[in-house]
Amino acid sequence: MFAGVLVVVHCVLAQPGMPCITVEDVCKTYPEKIARLFAKLDLDREPLAPVKTAVANNDLPGACTALLDYYRSTGWAAKYRVERIEATGARDADADAILNDDYTFYNVTAHVPRRPDGGLDWSYNGPSGDREWGWGLNRQPWLKTLLAAYSGTGNIEYVNAIDTLLRDWLTSNPYSGFRSDTPQWRGLEVYMRVGVNWPNVFYGLQEFLEFSPATRLLMLESVLDHADYNRNFHAKGGNWIVMEMHGLESAAAYWPEFKEADRWFRYAVERLTPELEKQIYPDGAQKELTSSYHRVTLMNFNAFKELALESGRTLPDSFTQGIEKLSNYVAYAMDPLGDDPLNNDSDLEPVNGEILEYAQQFNRPDWVYI
């Protein structure tokens, strides 16, 4: 019944060049991806027993259905679950722009062209050919825009758009298995998808029929590619490696059903732990001496720690100590208006709200006073 409903929904919604794909069609169209997905899952986990049985019987559509049922019923990442609300025709201007293929990054708005098959041109670098613009498009922050628009309006068109755009990206941007500087597969974009934007959508839309089985399964298989990239092609140091290891940890924590999940997590911890000493000067400044990079590093070290605790994993004490040093520097370096120093490649931004949050975390009344 579930799959049948989705067939009706997506045969109507599919755009030119992006066929309506059921569970059965995914298995038929992408047999290598589905075979790889089940080969990489730890099917000995007790909740995945129905999946293991279906795989043993060579019933891949049945295995896919059982796997999707598992993710709908798991209580993990409950904080992201989006409540279905009464349908309305209300509109959101930012989300409507995305529906019209108009995207804005770095205060530059452009109409993204479509490929001959009807899908979006994900290699587009904006009206000035700026790679930063193309990287912004492929980080997929528009997923959160569309998700927030649904929660604010109840307009299901925005959920339909999430499904259609994601499925297009997943089917038109294959992973090469090599280091890349393309808009689609550079390390920071990989991290932003798997570590920031995908968990919200994957778990947030579990109760929505409009979030198709095809998109869910293709996302799961692509998590393997994202983990592989952040594991094997990450930066050697600086703020980049902190972000990329957070991406690898996110793949492990949000999708612990993969056989390699624990190894991904261990590698991320082993690779990041020395960085706490290498990147932080005695006064707490991050070595790149740029306020924006300092705060990105702090945010990702802290997010790494929080996600580890949330997923029941432990970290060396040096993580907490390093995060406090980084936070202390921000508190004592901000100006009387609460802004960070405008040094090197930085933007002038208020940091007093962030410091109040860290002050509560570390019980630092001096930061509150500042």
Tens of pLDDT along 192-221?
999 999 999 999 999 999 999 999 999 999
pLDDT at 138: 98
Q: How many helices (H) and strands (E) does the chain have?
A: 19, 2
CA atoms within 13 A on the CB side of 6: 22
Mind giving me the DSSP string for 327-365?
HHHHHHHS-TTSBPP--SS----B-HHHHHHHHHHHT-H
Bridge partners of residue 286, in order along the sequence: 280
Q: Is the Cα torsion angle 151, 155, 161, 163 positive or negative in sign? A: positive
Task: Note the pLDDT tens digit of each residue in 268-318.
Answer: 999 999 999 999 999 999 999 999 999 999 999 999 999 999 999 999 999
- Tokens encoding 153: 């309006």
Q: Is the Cα torsion angle 306, 312, 318, 321 positive or negative in sign? A: positive
Q: Indicate the DSSP class of residue 47.
A: G
Rounded Cα distance between 146 and 111, Å, is: 17
pLDDT at 312: 96
Q: Indicate the DSSP class of residue 46.
A: G
- Tokens encoding 252: 């492990």
Choose among 287, 189, 194, 300: nearest CA to 237.
Answer: 287
Choose among 222, 172, 36: nearest CA to 230.
Answer: 222
Q: How confident is the model at residue 11 (pLDDT cuts 50, 70, 90)?
A: very low
Taking all residues of the chain, what is their mean pLDDT, rounded to a whole number? Answer: 93
- The phi, psi pair for 280, rounded to 5°, reads -115, 115
- The phi, psi pair for 260, rounded to 5°, reads -85, 0
pLDDT at 16: 41
Task: Note the pLDDT tens digit of each residue in 155-195.
Answer: 999 999 999 999 999 999 999 999 999 999 999 999 999 99
pLDDT above 90 (res 13)? no
Percent of the chain with pLDDT over 90: 93
Total Cβ atoms within 10 A of residue 226: 24
Total Cβ atoms within 10 A of residue 299: 17
CB burial class (10 A; 0-12, 13-18, 19+) of residue 58?
exposed
Taking the model in full, what pTM does it have? 0.93
